[in-house]
A and B are shown apart, each in its own frame.
Chain A
Amino acid sequence: MINITIDGIKTSVPEGSTILQAAATVGINIPTLCYHPDQAVKANCRVCVCEVEGNRLLQAACSQPVAEGMNIKTRSPKVIEARKTILELILSHHPQDCLNCIRNGNCELQDLAAEYIIRDNPFELKIRDLEKDFSTPSLFRDPAKCILCRRCVDACNVIQTVGALGLEKRGCEAMVVPTLGGSLLDSPCVMCGQCIHACPVGAIGEVENIDELLAAIADPDVVVVTQIAPAVRLALGEEIGMETGELPMDVFVAGLRQVGFDYVLHTNFTADLTILEEGNELLKRLTTGGTLPMFTSCSPGWINFCESFYPDLLDNLSTCKSPQQMFGSLVKTYWADKMGIPAKKIFSVSIMPCTAKKYEASRPEMNSSGYRDVDIVLTTREVGKLLRLTGIDFKRLAPSPFDSWMGAYTGAAVIFGATGGVMEAALRTVYEVVTKKELEDVNFQFARGFEGIKEAEIDLDGTKVKVAIAHSLANARKLMDQVRAGESPYHFIEIMACPGGCIGGGGQPITKANAKRIERIKAIYEEDQALAMRKSHLNPEVKVLYDEFLHEPLGHKSHELLHTHYHAKDKKAF
């Protein structure tokens, strides 16, 4: 243990602690900007500088390890002046656009400017003459707002190993740019949106589709129908002043009706459906020598990644569409017929924790219904804004149930939102199909948790199936490289592009640390635990769908509406 004094407080901390860590142990919060708890220390913003007795130079708290006898001042006049000056420098090179900015009210630079009481900035306001990049349907970049903390570069290169973002030039001309300085669409960007979570300001965000929604709601001829992904509800509370998991599902539904949705249905319905289709597809490949290992295909960021970096392995992907897209093609066919609503009047909305889903919905082949299967995708953050727009007190709103035919779901669908959830849901059904026995304990513990790669060998009454689960694309690469080398021991692999799975998706409330993802994962399994029905094949509405419409898994109708194909992308990526 090392003995130090910090702001007059004497304390002991473990060797190797930084000043930042040491300060936290005694309740002193040193402000930071480029520091990120899940990334390597950068020490480039210099906001966290502190005075260390005996040293003329200020030390960055995030990078400076403590030493025996160190006497640290985190808020001396010299430090305060330095921090204010640094903030003034950053702010005077930043658009004064808070009122119109996507991060208004949720911006680390705003918070620091307020904390350091920045009033008259002595430096003349200079704004970089750089165009906004709206080239993709999912993400936009506003480089003029970039403060060059480089958290997005780390998220893209280290956590996701996509490498779509990098630095260009140097000095005051330095800027974060997509590959070769081109547009985001031309880069290998998979649109996972992890850069959004990393960005402390509004330099990156999702393309918002709120205006299209409000126009559809206002149009009396349009029937606005929405689906909701399993990872949305538990995080949505964070957007409206509640705890993670605190917003009840039926109050959420009621809130959406207040926003103006005509029908509220659930993606969990098609998640259960996906298990039926994909489970049968896996069994077919296992018994008839199909391409193995089979990869899940519900994460569009992962699909983009596979198409760009592993186009030689596209045949390994399940041909199943994602639950979002299965829903889209059914809502304008099966559901429209059952409800007696003309398909062309339906405005199909999808509420997702995901930014890549905006791109997925726009893929040309996603029109099996004869129309655009999903018209717009809204992120959890966008829905949070809509709920705040209603001005409702969610603690007093009367609950409302889902609408019919595509609103029922099981616990197996709920867990899709966490890494390992699709695998566990699939195993709950595949077990019973193969062994023809009832699965008594539906909990597959090996599949749960934040470990980067999880694996197991499942014994289906003699038939052994090796499975693996990866979340975040760096881990996906490890499994993919193994497959490419012909060395993969697995039959079935679940891959989620985002750390933690969909609960950590690019569209979720701004997620500053993995600790929050872990908290959300806990809420997902609690939700599953509380449900009576936890196996996909028991979903009564799914039974009706097969009886009346699809007839059988992998049948002709399924292939037409619920399955898809992929294309290699040339993004100069490898």
Chain B
Amino acid sequence: MAVEMRIALRNYGKIDPLKIDEYISLGGYAALKKACAMDKAELIDQVKKSNLRGRGGAGFNCGQKWAFASKADADQKYVICNADEGEPGTYKDRLIMENDPQTLIEGMAICAYAIGATKGYIYCRGEYPQVVAILKAAIAQAREKGILGGFDLEVRMGAGAYVCGEETALIESIEGNRGEPRFKPPYPPVSGLWQKPTIVNNVETFAVIPVIVEKGSEWFAAIGDPAYPGTKVLTLTGDINQRTFFEVPTDTKLNEVIYELGGGIPGGKKFKAVQVGGTSGAFIPENKLDTAIAFDKMAAIDATLGSGAVFVLDETRDLVDVSTRIARFFEHESCGKCAPCREGTMRMYDLMEKINAGEGSPADVALLNKLGRVMSYACLCGLGQAAPAPVLSTIKNFAADYNAKFK
């Protein structure tokens, strides 16, 4: 039985997001007080032991990242919240920010204390101006109450670039540059914003930090899948009866999400495929639905949990057409810096368009496979590395759709 468990969204619908006192009355900012009385190394160790892994898609151990930044020696450190949320099909961060902005601020303040940072930024995508307004108001309220101490938090807007969800591109954008990723190493915890130690974490990651500090690492580590514990906010879109969001423990299975929580496929149609994790996720066929959403379990079926978007497609959908639309997305969003992505995303779209128009052949599919494979390990950043995944997964799992289109 799939059951919702709200940690990141614990205050959803219970408080007025623009009234900080309501957040406080539900226990808000008690965790920050507790954290600031702890030894920093001990605090970081708690976060590490909780095994909280990044909720933006990369899944790196949060506490481990904080430890790197904490160890780094610098006159200034930064905490950045990645609220770019560009992944199509995803709006979970908007939900958190629109309904409970203070949990994000509290999480960032705890991080700032832990690593020794006094300045923070929330990088919010430009397409969410109403969210930016809420965040600014919430920060002003927290500042007025004296809660943040010496932690200076600022909101910056993106301007329409999916690639700025990549942490180093995001950093470049805050620096006022084109949002082009940097090569790594060096990694941001060592050298990030203006070359200073920087932690970049997703909204959802920060949102659960106060609860982990309050209730302890063991409590969190015991929820869901042990290798990827806690909960995940999922946003369901496409051919699904419940086109809405759910927060579930990470050992919840895909079939439970789709049929129990999601209410199944509308119009009595049959399931065909689900793309999990956003537009760079693999398309998963029916025979793989008995898989938990946890990061490593998804990797085992060549899929990804990513942002937690769940995009369901029924039997009437043409996966070549959908994959073509996705290939066009990556051609648009490639930053253009590295050759294999700049050229490769263009070529993937050209080939998909050709196949989709009925002009393609098995040789084109073979070329897509080779190109996608090379991109997946030669591109400079995650965008280019992941862009081929949807196309390659549909070629592998839904060959019939392609065969139907050949000349």
Contact = CB atoms under 8 A, between A and B. Distances in A.
Consider the complex of A and B and state whether they touch directly, i.e. have CB atoms less than 8 Å apart.
Answer: yes
Contacts of B345: 171-172
B152 interface: no
Contacts of A65: 185
Contact of A82 (B185, B338, B377): B377
Interface residues of B, number: 30
B336 A43 contact: no
Interface string B257-288: 00000000000000000000000000000000
A172 B345 CA distance: 8
A63 B343 contact: no
Given A57-B385, A81-B374, A171-B331, A148 B336 contact: yes
Contacts of A173: 336
Contacts of B332: 171
B19 interface: no
B342 A124 contact: no
Most buried by A among B337, B345, B350: B337
Interface string B328-341: 00011111111110
Contact of B346 (A45, A60, A63, A171): A171
Contact of A43 (B183, B335, B371): B183
B399 interface: no
Contacts of B342: 148, 171-172, 174
A447 to B, nearest CB: 36
Contact of B347 (A49, A63, A89): A89
Contact of B183 (A47, A63, A123): A63
B344 interface: yes
B377 A58 contact: yes
A9 B404 CA distance: 51
A122 interface: yes
Interface string A48-64: 01000000111010011
A56 B375 CA distance: 12
A90 B374 CA distance: 14
Contacts of B331: 171-172
A124 B339 CA distance: 16
Contact of A85 (B178, B336, B370): B370
A75 to B, nearest CB: 15
B338 A44 contact: yes
A172 B343 contact: yes
Interface residues of A, number: 35
Contacts of A89: 339-340, 343-344, 347
B142 interface: no
Given A123-B347, A172-B334, A44 B377 contact: no
B183 A90 contact: no
B379 interface: yes
Contact of A90 (B343, B380, B385): B343
B352 interface: no
A44 B378 contact: no
A93 interface: yes
A123 B332 CA distance: 19
A169 interface: yes
Most buried by B among A78, A81, A147, A172: A172
A86 interface: yes
Nearest to B336: A174
A167 interface: yes
Interface in B303-337: 331-337
B374 A82 contact: yes
A315 B272 CA distance: 77
Contact of A170 (B178, B367, B370): B178
A409 to B, nearest CB: 48
B339 A44 contact: yes
Contacts of B161: 170
Contact of A46 (B185, B334, B378): B378
B271 to A, nearest CB: 31
Nearest to A67: B185
Nearest to A43: B183
A85 B380 contact: no
A57 B185 contact: no
Most buried by B among A86, A92, A124, A167: A86
Nearest to A83: B378
A82 B336 contact: no
A86 B340 contact: yes
A90 B339 contact: yes
Given A43-B183, A82-B378, A170 B339 contact: no
Nearest to A51: B377
B120 to A, nearest CB: 28
Given A44-B339, A93-B346, 7 more contacts: A43-B380, A46-B378, A86-B339, A93-B343, A170-B161, A171-B335, A172-B345
11 contacts: A43-B380, A58-B378, A86-B339, A89-B347, A92-B343, A123-B347, A124-B350, A169-B336, A170-B334, A172-B334, A172-B346
The 5 closest A-B pairs by CB, nearest first: A174-B336, A89-B343, A172-B346, A171-B334, A43-B183
